[in-house]
Structure formats: structure tokens, C-alpha cells
Structure 1
Amino acid sequence: RWDYMEDFLIEGRVPDYTQNLNTEILVSSYQANRLGFKNGDKVIVFFLKEDGGFLNRRFDIVGIYDSGFQEFDESFLFADIRHIQKLNKWEEDQVGGFEVFVDDFDRLNEIGTAIYEHTDSFLNTMTITQKYYSIFEWLSLFDFNIALIIVVMIIVAGINMIVALLVLILERTPMVGILKALGANNWSIRKIFMYNALYLVGVGLFWGNVIGIGLLLIQKYFGLIILNPETYYVSEAPVYIDWYYIVILNLGTFLLCALMLLIPSYVITRISPVKTIKFD
């Protein structure tokens, strides 16, 4: 899947293995820096034999990539598999391993189990989460942190809106008394304050989306926040924008705030017109 590798290219191009056997290889920036290579260099690669001897082949570096995963970058370069087949005296249909790409990552374990059950006993299968267990465990911590932060933010936003609505009600207590004296029922008065509070929630969500999505787009296209790849596995803070999640998050926040605003609006039912209407 060379379309994936093109996203990580920092120099040159991806090799072309669609035609005859060639000597083009793709190396990582980690390997190039450690060995003093640059794009366009010719390199000699040594292959150890079981009897203690070795074979060597000359290759041409046509591209340099940086995946951000040092464990990967320090171990792999990309070459035409036909070189390995010739060195190991394999047939054209013999390989060291297959990669299966899935369209739905949520079904990874299900598909991995199905492949394992249809694989002969002398072969083994492994999902990417099993192969790079530590990396995916590290990523799962972000999912928990994100959920925790969202819950805390919604609770804080809800409490702030409850306080704001209580202040609005207390400031308009005489108005509530007059409306009740004129025949308005509790629910109709509560809706007035609810609409006003939800308008404030909508304005807050609008500006919050403008600022938040704006910062995400800046990070996505300019990469202002730099990270240490040895610690975080990536060279910059990654950004993934899914408009479906954004819409669901906004709707969920709005609905939860609306439900929480029902609590302070109940205060209106306790207001007595006789005690709130004062005549000078």
C-alpha cells in the first residue's frame, strides 16, 4: 500500500516494483542519519548465511521516510521482494508473510480470528494490536482521557448554566410574579427562561466550535505542537477531525445542558406572586 507510505516521505519517491527487478530501496531517516546516507546514494547490503558466510547486493536509495515510530524506522527498509526470493532460493509464490488490510478497524479482532481459523497449523497470524501491543495500550489511554475530559467539561458547563439560570430567575423575580398574576402558568414562564439559557448555550457552542476547530486545523496543517517521537511515537501532535463526532458531541452537549436546566427552572414554581409584586 504505497499510498500509505507517501504520507511519510520526506525526500525522494516511493520505489517502483511493478516492472522488472530493480535495485531501488526506501530507507528511514533514522537509518540514513545513523549510517550517513542521503537520497540518491548507492549502498551495499550484506546478508548473513547459515554457514557463517555472507552475500552482498548493491541498492540505490530513491526515497527517505519518517513514520515517527522509532521501533519501526530502525528495523525496516523497503526493497523488491524478488531479491529476497532469489537469495533464499524461494519460488515466486513464496513469501515471509502477508499483510491483510481491513476496511473497518473496529472489526480487526473478528477478522483476525477468522483468518487464524482458516490458516494451516504450521503458520501463525497476528493482528497489528498484538504485534505492537505496547503502542496500542498507550493509545488506549488517550481514549479514556478523552472520555473523562468530555464528561468533566459537560458537568462543568452544566453547573455554570444552572448557576446562570438561577441568577436570571432571581433578577427577574418581580417579572415572574407579574406574569403569574396575569394568568401565566409555571411551565410557560419556565420556557421563557429555558429559551434564554439555551440561546446562551448555543452562542457558547458556536464560538467554542470556531475556536476549537480553528486550533485543530492550524495544528493539522502547520504542526505547531512538536513532540519527541522517542517518547510519543509521533513527531507532532496528531489531529483527526471527524465531522460526525463533532456534530454528535455538540448535540449531546446541547441536550444534556437543556436537561440540567430543568432543575433550576423548577424554582419558578416556588415563587409566590403575592410576595414578589411590590407597590410603591
Structure 2
Amino acid sequence: MRLSHKLPYEWLVGWRYTRAGKRGRRQRFISFISFISIAGIGLGVAALIVVLSVMNGFQKEVAGRMLSILAHVEVTDARGSMPYWEQARAEVLRHPEVKAAAPFMETEGMLVSGDVLKPALVRGILPAAERGVSELAARVKSGSLDALRTGAHQIVLGRELAKSLDVSLGDTVGVAIAQGDALGEGSMPRVQPFTVAGIFDAGHYEYDSTLAFVALDDGEALAGLSAPSGIRLRLADPFRAVPVARALAQNMTGDVRLVPWTLLNATWFAAVASQKRMMFIILALIMAVAAFNLVSTLVMTVTDKKADIAILRTIGASPRSIMKIFVVQGTLTGLMGAGTGVLLGVLFALNIGTIVPAIESALGMHILNPEIYFISTVPSDVHWGDVAAIAGVSIALAFLSTLYPSWSAARVNPAEGLRYE
């Protein structure tokens, strides 16, 4: 690489010092330390890009599995039921970003099979309408969602819930729902038998272990409701759920409450964001250690180049120019490290689906056990904003590490520098 001679001489000298090390044992040692600094910065940048990309991939994968069951927005009435749901459905469908809407009811209950009792969230749906707002029908691995017909008393369970109840297709489970003050002290709720008509697998433990679906009318009868709890919406873009919910709330009639899916899972998203921040800080410390190795490299360079500095000073170079030379040297080192790290990190993150299986095959192990994580591959989603932020932080750390050595170089006395020359 050659720099144009139109550049200021500080850049030319700084670039020359960056490449120093071809002659003399001391210069070779300085060059080796400089290489270690570049490698350290590069590895830190690459590690941070890969880790954040994998975390983004997991977040995207989990969000996708959530949205296979969740609606993008839930619209409910403050009174607990929505007898005017058809009118509300017509209102929300006027919004251009709302693609589908379906009624639902939801209540907490207990499922009984033999001596086993499991708490569950019982949701009543219309199977035909539900296909428009979720991917539940596609997630049903055994049986069919269409079996949920009014009066048939059929139920569709999550995989983990069915496993814990030890039931399969055709078995009977009891569904018990508490109905306010209808139960006296010491009394037991009435248990309604349902036949297992389907088992779904959302790939998300929380939903697979707690959700049960019944026909809408059967659910209303269980909960003692005369109308659905509300309607569930499907949007063109699920990540616009919050602004769309706000817009709908201003135009809908009645005392309605609109809850976007991100708010329903706010705790999970906050935990993921917190983990990403902590990982960024921890891995940034690796870059900081490598960047501050530049301090020792530049201090040794200043000591080795005292005669050069003295000569530059005697021919008119200002202390500010001397500072620039070593700032350029350190910043170029940081740029090379950051560039190398970005290249390696992005290549690894984009090809992680090929690299990780090769590592697993070589080591004879599985990084992710599908029986534990319900996912067998390591996902990756490169966010270029993250890449830019990581590169910027590494370059900034390299620049900060140049300040003391360059200031020290600017203070070199020309007479002292030339004394033994």
C-alpha cells in the first residue's frame, strides 16, 4: 500500500512508522507488539460481531415462534367481553395495515387427566378466522384445528402440556374454570370433559406448556360469557404494532384496550436487550485491552525515534505535528485491526450455518441440543448498525490510546534527542 505524496507529511511519516520493523532487533520487536495489538483488536471486534449476531438471530427466531401463536395486537373491552365484536372488527379492518381480525375468548383454568392437574390458559377461537391472524393451524402436528366445532367439546393442546398430562389424540381431559362467586366455600368447580383433537408445537416452551384451544362458543360457555373477550389482529408489519395500536385506539368506539404483542412480552424483550448491552460491555473490554497495548507500542516507538523527532523539530516541525505523526500511527493500527475484525466477524456470522455444523462434526458434539432448546441450529442475524458501532468503538479506543504517547513525543527536547547521535 502506498500513500499519495499529496498527503501531509505527518500522515506519510506515521504510515512509515506503522510499517517499521524491517531492520534492527528493537524495531522488529516493536513491529511484533504492533501486530499483536492489531490482532487483539481484530479478534475483539470479530468476537463481538459474531456474539451480537447470534443473539440477534436467537431474538428473531424466538420472536418468529411467538408470532406463530400470538396476534400482533389484541383488542379487548374493559368490561371483560365484547358483544359488539363484529362492529369492532369492521372498524379495525378499515386501517390499511390491518390484514385480518378474528374473535377470541380467554380464561385461566385447570386441565385434569387422571390424578394430574395442570394450569392452562384456555382460548376459544373460530378456526377459519384464526388462520388469518396466526400460524396455529400450521403448527398443529397431530390432529386438526378444524375439529374445534361448536358443541363438539374438542380441545387442542400444546405439545408439552399434552406430555405433562400424558394424553394423546382421542383421550379425554377435564377442563375446570372458576366462575367468579358461583362457587361457594368448600365447593369444587364443575369439570367439563373435552376430547383431545390436536396437539400443536409452537417451538416456544411457554406456549407449548400452557395454551389450550377450544371452539369459541364452548369457551364462552365454560367461562360464563355471552360474547367473545375481544378480537385479535394481524398486521402487515408486526414491528409496527405499537404505532398501529395507537392509531386504532383514537378511532375505535367503546371502552377498548389495545395491547401490541411487544407489550405482552415486554419482560422478555427487556431481558434480551439487557443481555446484549452486557455482552457488548464485556467484549468491548477485550478490545480495550488490545487497544491499550498500543500505548506500550507507541511509547517504545517514541523512545526508538527520539533522534528522528529531534531532526524533525530542528527543521521546523511543531510539537503539534509531532503529535499528529504518532496519532496517525496509532489510529492506522486501530483501523487495520477494526477492518480485519469486521471482515472476519461478518464472514463468520453470515456463514455460521455452515461453520458451526463443521465444528460439531469435528468435535462429535451438538452445541444446541434440540431436546432442550427446541432448535438444532445456531441462528445469526447481522445488523449493520451493530457492526458500525463496534468498529467505531474500536477505532475510538485506538485513538484514545495514542494521546499520551503522542503528547510525550511532542515534549522530546531536540538537544536531548541528538546528544548521542
TM-score between the two structures when normalised by the length of structure 2: 0.47
5+ long unaligned stretches in structure 2: 1-62, 70-136, 149-154, 180-188, 222-226, 358-365
- The aligned runs of 1:130-149 (5 Å cut-off) are 131-132=264-265, 134-146=267-279, 148-149=281-282
Tell me: CA distance 1:171–1:106, structure 2 relative to 1, closer, same or farther (3 Å).
farther
Equivalent position amino acid for 2:416 in 1: K
Q: Deviations over 1:221-244 (max 9, x none)?
A: 7586448999x9999876542112
Q: Report if the CA contact (8 A) 1:28-1:66 is conserved.
A: no
5+ long unaligned stretches in structure 1: 16-20
Equivalent position amino acid for 2:202 in 1: Y
Residue of structure 1 aligned with 2:217, choices 78, 85, 89: 85
Q: Report if the CA contact (8 A) 2:319-2:410 is conserved.
A: yes
Matched, 1:30 2:164: no
Q: Distance in 2 between matches of 1:119 and 1:165?
A: 70
Q: How many residue pairs end up in the alignment?
A: 258
- Which residue of 2 is the match for residue 76 of structure 1? 211
Q: Report if the CA contact (8 A) 1:216-1:239 is conserved.
A: yes
Q: Deviations over 1:166-222 (max 9, x none)?
A: 222112111111222233333333333223222221222133334444554566675
Q: Report if the CA contact (8 A) 1:186-1:269 is conserved.
A: yes
SS in 2 for 1:88: helix
Tell me: CA distance 1:257–1:220, structure 2 relative to 1, closer, same or farther (3 Å).
same
Percent pairwise identity: 18
- Which residue of 1 is the match for residue 190 of structure 2? 52
Matched, 1:241 2:379: no
- Which residue of 1 is the match for residue 295 of structure 2? 162
- Which residue of 2 is the match for residue 180 of structure 1? 313
Q: Distance in 1 between matches of 2:420 and 2:197?
A: 97
Q: Report if the CA contact (8 A) 1:30-1:73 is conserved.
A: yes
Q: Distance in 2 between matches of 1:26 and 1:87?
A: 12
Q: Report if the CA contact (8 A) 1:177-1:273 is conserved.
A: yes
- Which residue of 2 is the match for residue 205 of structure 1? 338
Q: Report if the CA contact (8 A) 2:322-2:409 is conserved.
A: yes
Q: Distance in 1 between matches of 2:340 and 2:156?
A: 45
SS in 2 for 1:22: helix
Q: Distance in 1 between matches of 2:258 and 2:67?
A: 27
Q: Distance in 2 between matches of 1:260 and 1:125?
A: 51
Q: Distance in 2 between matches of 1:189 and 1:259?
A: 16
Equivalent position amino acid for 1:243 in 2: W
Tell me: CA distance 1:207–1:246, structure 2 relative to 1, closer, same or farther (3 Å).
same
- The aligned runs of 1:190-201 (5 Å cut-off) are 190-201=323-334
Q: CA RMSD in A?
A: 4.7
Q: Report if the CA contact (8 A) 1:227-1:237 is conserved.
A: no
Q: Report if the CA contact (8 A) 1:43-1:58 is conserved.
A: yes
Q: Report if the CA contact (8 A) 1:165-1:261 is conserved.
A: yes
TM-score between the two structures when normalised by the length of structure 1: 0.65
Q: Report if the CA contact (8 A) 2:157-2:196 is conserved.
A: no
SS in 2 for 1:262: helix
Q: CA shift at 1:75, angstroms?
A: 0.9
Q: CA shift at 1:146, angstroms?
A: 3.6
Q: Distance in 2 between matches of 1:148 and 1:276?
A: 41
Q: Report if the CA contact (8 A) 2:170-2:195 is conserved.
A: no
Q: Report if the CA contact (8 A) 1:43-1:60 is conserved.
A: no
Equivalent position amino acid for 1:66 in 2: G
Q: Distance in 1 between matches of 2:407 and 2:233?
A: 58
Residue of structure 2 aligned with 1:271, choices 412, 416, 421: 412
- Which residue of 2 is the match for residue 254 of structure 1? 395
Q: Report if the CA contact (8 A) 1:173-1:271 is conserved.
A: yes
- Which residue of 1 is the match for residue 51 of structure 2? none
